[in-house]
Amino acid sequence: MIPSDDEIQSLERDLRFHATENDNPSWLTSDQIADFNRTGYVAPIPIFDLNEIADIRCYFDDLLDQVTAQGGNSYSISSAHLKYGRVHDILTNQRIVDHVADLLGENVIGWGSHFFCKMPRDGKAVAWHQDASYWPLSPSKAVTVWLAIDDADEQNACMKFIAGSHHHGHMTYRPSGSHEDNVLNQTIENPQQYGDTVFNPLAAGNVSIHSDLLLHGSEANESDRRRCALTLRYCAADVRAELGWNEKGVQVRGKDESGHWSNVPRPATD
């Protein structure tokens, strides 16, 4: 569940960008880490080959059929790693975690998983926003991995970033109006004041990684092609989660010596 504005505003959070300091990365290059610190994102990163992502796509197709038959829609499959073993497997996939650990350090928690599936001509956009606005986490040492399940490009509404906007801290937003057809419920106005717009096309099986403070969004999909992605959320193990969100956490690398995160087991149901 997304916390209410009152719940979020009642929390004391450190929403400053914490730059990565890693002189000896294992998987990302030093240039990629410098780019992440400067622009707020790294892309593209190949993870799954064509056969692997085709298998994931078939799995999602079946899952979407089940969810819609029960009254859900293509955006309603959230916290999926708590319900579906296959999604838990993707969240804990070491090829993904290897790259995340180069940015967050060796003690990493995976805590979120949400399918964002724009059906052909579905008319829904994702307004400009910061992930950190929605999350009761502190300090701001968290990233989103955006896994392309379908090819994503400008024609079918790939994600777009405001490069470097993560350096401006937490931004003022307004509630989205119903006329906006926003998948989420926040809108940040005049994004270009914070930097230049960069589109993030990704081939299926590739990922991008962006800071929780990076301003981003996507247009409505006006094409005849679907655009499905799985967003995976990670943070450093020393991040603290309020409102019970620590119950979503899975230890994916290293240790959580404080025991703050629940380290939920893999669900039995795929």
The DSSP line for 90-141 is HHT-HHHHHHHHHHH-S-EEEEEEEEEEE-TT---BEEEE-GGGG--EESS-
CA distances from 120 to 125, 151, 270 (A): 12, 13, 27
Cα–Cα distance for residue pair 260/227, rounded to 1 Å: 36
Return the pLDDT at 102. 98
Quick one: pLDDT at residue 18? 97
In this prediction the pTM is: 0.96
CB 47 within 8 A of CB 60: no
Instruction: Kindly list the distances between the CA atom of residue 78 and the CA atoms of 117, 171, 206, 239, 248, in Å, as whole numbers in the listed order.
Output: 11, 25, 20, 21, 11
What residues have CB less than 8 Å from 187, skipping those under 6 apart? Answer: 127, 128, 129, 173, 174, 175, 176, 177, 180
For residue 78, the one-letter residue type is S
Query: Closest by alpha carbon to 232, among 199, 204, 261, 207?
Result: 207
CA distances in angstroms from 14 to 71, 102, 185, 188, listed in the order given: 38, 22, 22, 20
**Residue 230 to residue 112: CA distance in whole angstroms:** 10
Q: Are 91 and 81 in contact (CB under 8 A)?
A: yes
DSSP-derived letter for residue 247 is G
Question: How far is 204 from 57, CA to CA, in rounded Å?
Answer: 9
**How many CA atoms does the CB half-sphere of 21 hold within 13 Å?**
2
- Exposure of 142 in the CB half-sphere (CA atoms within 13 A): 31
Low-confidence spans in the chain with pLDDT less than 50: none
Of 238, 150, 211, nearest to 18 by C-alpha is 211
* pLDDT tens-place string over residues 199-238: 999 999 999 999 999 999 999 999 999 999 999 999 999 9
Torsion of CA 100, 40, 222, 176, to 10 degrees: 110
Q: What is the pLDDT of residue 101?
A: 98
Q: Are 229 and 144 in contact, with CB atoms under 8 Å apart?
A: no
